[in-house]
């Protein structure tokens, strides 16, 4: 069975987060490298030795790139340095993968220009860091945002010099809020066909299994606890149990909830994936 884990927030330090995850019997988790209360980066170097003592307990660790990073905008110098910093932190702390939103084509006339900008920066970073898996995630927003439409993720991959070095994350809440319906048999079939034709099932390495409070096509990113949103448990279960995506790991990015409730949901998803 592929790993099922949680997105966890650093409210103290990364070592405390690892202790929490291990205590909850999680074999994988995702986090930002940002101290939640202060909104600043953690001191990875200072926490490295203590954190790595817990590293053997986890199969895969996912760093979610911060929302400050936008490689598709016209002005990128600052955000490139931020991503380089986060890549260095991932390597230092032995995280396996970085999950990244492509960003938005701000300052450009067309999205295609933003995609070209993204690829020109992202491609060499991928080549220079072969020990890190780079995962591009679909987003929820419209306008200049790149990657909400699966076809745009396909365009990015086609322009990479080594397209085989990247994979994709399907966020169910983002997909639904953007306009991909998968809540009926017909629409589910259409959605899966879109994934197959644009990305290919084998290229989807991660699913962010999230519900949303937003209506179909609202293009807003607001998660809900699974079963408490408009997608619903049964429709989320269809994604997880579809054999074409059975190889993909699952991360639940839950809104604030008691940790016992979060773990209960993880265990439900684990049962689905058996």
Tokens of 53: 């003592």
pTM > 0.85: yes or no: yes
Tell me: pLDDT of 1 over 70: no
Percent of the chain with pLDDT over 90: 96
Residue position matching structure tokens 């933003």: 114
First to last CA, the chain: 6
The pLDDT, as a whole number, for residue 77 is 77
Distance CA 30, CA 52 (A): 16
Domain range 4-273, CATH architecture: Alpha-Beta Barrel (3.20)
Position 76 pLDDT exceeds 90: no
pLDDT of 23 reads: 96
pLDDT tens string 224-240: 999 999 999 999 999 99
Contact predicate 152/118, CB 8 Å: no
pLDDT tens for 84-97 read 999 999 999 999 99
Q: How far is CA 222 from CA 75, 100, 217, in A?
A: 27, 18, 13
Q: What pLDDT is recorded for position 22? A: 97
Rounded distance between C-alpha atoms, residue 72 and residue 158, angstroms: 16
Q: Among all chains, which residue has been given the structure tokens 């899966």? A: 192
109-159 pLDDT, tens per residue?
999 999 999 999 999 999 999 999 999 999 999 999 999 999 999 999 999
| pLDDT, mean of residues 148-176 | 97
Mean model confidence pLDDT for the chain: 96
- Tell me: the pLDDT tens digits for 249-274? 999 999 989 999 999 999 999 999 87
For the purposes of burial, counting CB atoms within 10 Å of the CB of 69, is it exposed (0-12), middle (13-18) or buried (19 or more)? buried
**Where are the chain's structural domains?**
4-273
- pLDDT, position 78: 86
pLDDT at 31: 98
DSSP category for residue 201:
G
């Amino acid at each position: 069975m592929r790993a099922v884990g949680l997105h966890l927030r650093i409210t103290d330090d990364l070592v405390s987060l690892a202790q929490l995850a291990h205590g909850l019997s999680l074999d994988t988790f995702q986090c930002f490298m940002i101290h939640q209360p202060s909104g600043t980066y953690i001191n990875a170097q200072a926490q490295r030795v203590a954190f790595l003592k817990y590293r053997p307990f986890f199969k895969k660790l996912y760093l979610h790139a911060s929302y400050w990073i936008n490689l598709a905008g016209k002005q990128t110098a600052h955000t490139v340095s931020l991503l380089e910093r986060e890549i260095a932190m991932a390597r230092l702390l032995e995280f396996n993968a970085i999950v990244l939103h492509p960003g938005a084509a701000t300052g450009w006339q067309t999205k295609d220009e933003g995609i070209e900008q993204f690829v020109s920066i992202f491609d060499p970073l991928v080549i220079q860091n072969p020990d890190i898996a780079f995962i591009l995630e679909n987003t929820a927003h419209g306008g200049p945002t790149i990657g909400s439409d699966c076809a745009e993720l396909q365009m990015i991959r086609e322009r990479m010099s080594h397209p085989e070095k990247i994979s994709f994350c399907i966020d169910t809440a983002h997909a639904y809020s953007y306009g991909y319906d998968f809540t009926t048999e017909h629409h589910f079939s259409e959605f899966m066909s879109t994934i197959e034709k644009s990305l290919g099932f084998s290229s989807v390495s991660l699913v962010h299994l999230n519900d949303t409070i937003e209506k179909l096509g609202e293009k807003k990113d607001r998660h809900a606890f699974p079963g408490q949103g408009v997608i619903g448990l049964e429709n989320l279960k269809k994604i997880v149990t579809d054999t074409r995506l059975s190889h993909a790991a699952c991360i639940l990015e839950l809104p604030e909830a008691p940790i016992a409730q979060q773990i209960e949901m993880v265990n439900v998803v684990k049962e689905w994936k058996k």
